[in-house]
Amino acid sequence: GENVEQHPSTLSVQEGDSAVIKCTYSDSASNYFPWYKQELGKRPQLIIDIRSNVGEKKDQRIAVTLNKTAKHFSLHITETQPEDSAVYFCAARRYYGGSQGNLIFGKGTKLSVKP
């Protein structure tokens, strides 16, 4: 089955700096990779996702890159702000055409942005 590793587990940056979170996956058939942001006591919110036919996707200060050969994908946050502080989860999903797979989550990264 799929296994997703996420690093680092905690990340502290100064406001305005960039933050990078990396994930690796084991199942080469996985084809969908979302990133979720979870604030304390709240639901995970989808912030960006990428599919296996794309190498990079950007949405304002957030970008995700995917390297299918190496089976890793990364979240990049630029110009970080204190409100970016949260736990970020990566996930990978395999699609079985006609029978849809499940999201497998990484262990999460607690990002702290210091003013």
By CB under 8 A, name the binding residues for another protein.
Answer: 32, 34, 36, 41-46, 49, 51, 89, 93, 95, 100, 102-108, 110
Exposed, middle or buried by CB within 10 Å (0-12, 13-18, 19+), for 71? middle
- Smallest gap from Cβ 108 to another protein, in A, equals 5
Comparison of 1 and 115: residue with beta carbon closer to another protein: 1
Contact between 55 and 65 (Cβ < 8 Å): yes
Comparison of 58 and 107: residue with beta carbon closer to another protein: 107
Q: What residues contact residue 89 under an 8 Å CB cut-off, 6+ apart?
A: 6, 35, 36, 38, 44, 105, 106, 108, 109
C-alpha distances in Å from residue 106, one per residue of 65, 89, 92: 16, 6, 8
- Smallest gap from Cβ 107 to another protein, in A, equals 5
- Smallest gap from Cβ 105 to another protein, in A, equals 5
Comparison of 43 and 69: residue with beta carbon closer to another protein: 43
Comparison of 80 and 88: residue with beta carbon closer to another protein: 88
- Smallest gap from Cβ 16 to another protein, in A, equals 27
